[in-house]
Amino acid sequence: MPTPDEIMMFRALRLARRAWGMTSPNPMVGAVLCKDGRIIGEGYHHRAGMPHAEIEALRSCQEPPAGATCHVTLEPCSTHGRTPPCVDALIAAKVAEVVVGCLDPNPAHAGRGVELLRSAGIAVRTGVLREKCAELNEAFFHWITTRTPFVLLKMAITLDGKIATRSGSSKWITGPAARARVQRLRRWADAILVGGETARLDKPSLTVRGVANWPQPRRLVATRSLTAADLAGLLPVGVPPEPLGARGADEWRLELARLGAENVTALLVEGGGELASSLLRANLVDKVEFHIAPKLLGGRGSRPALGGADPASLDEALGLERVKTCRAGDDLIVSGYPRRR
């Protein structure tokens, strides 16, 4: 049975998710103000540069917020950016208590907002639904601490581990529900990466569809043979595709550092097998999500989900942590975090 604090934090999380894919390079944050178990105001951060969740919640209050409790998914900011510090607004509003889901991951700021609130006589409790609050912004948390994008590898595969026929045909392995989930991942991503062979054979759009006027992610192709002009011919619709010529772990780290400096917080990798294998071997994938269709393709020449060199033993297999499964129509979704070798 959830506690009253958890009920309010679940509400704050639902509010934060309304801005899915719209706040980068800022986090998604929700806030709820309550008195005696009654919600008197709530809000969420809509877009980067717009008021933060706490400010939206204070502005929506149906009665004076003095003495209220504010439940917020992320520690209130304590520094001036494009907007004033939320800590100052909460202190000025004379709230009695702030309940925080997770602390600011930025080492320069972590805990500072809590300290300022407590110094002003406001009670603060932290860690309510911490894991759920942190998972919502795992890309932002990774980027703010490493200045490189959070890399999510998504693969659509058959039950026997194939991503395409020998000729490269891959439409459609998974069903409509799984493909709708891919569109949600594309809305979350600042950039999408595929291999050159995938671009040549599959000609994926790598665009967000079904949402009017959505800011399209950058489209990246790992290739040393295709030029920007070649890619524009292959992928004519959407943001002009960019070739990336990285080879090996060191070159890929430099590319990721460059993308991070350009405010790419979330990078979605959609294949193919050679690119996926090289990034995994280089320990550059932060999370995997495999969409598994209940189909058996077979064929010695059919393309496997992961290419690369043949391992000598099962000891070389890469394990996953915090594995989750769910269904999307007839397809099974398996996600997890690779253990660093």
Q: DSSP string covering 286-318, please?
A: -EEEEEEES-----TTSEES--SSPPSSGGGPP
Edge to edge, the sheet with strand 266-269 lists: 242-244, 218-222, 191-195, 266-269, 150-158, 287-293, 331-338, 320-328
Q: Is 54 part of the annotated catalytic residue set?
A: yes
- For the chain, helix (H) and strand (E) counts, in that order, are 11, 15
**Pick the catalytic residue: 6, 42, 54, 135?**
54
Q: DSSP string covering 108-122, please?
A: TTTTHHHHHHHHTT-
Among 21, 137, 123, CA closest to 73: 137
Residues present in the chain in total:
341
Cα separation, 14 vs 17, in Å, equals 5
Cα separation, 15 vs 46, in Å, equals 10
Catalytically active residues are 54
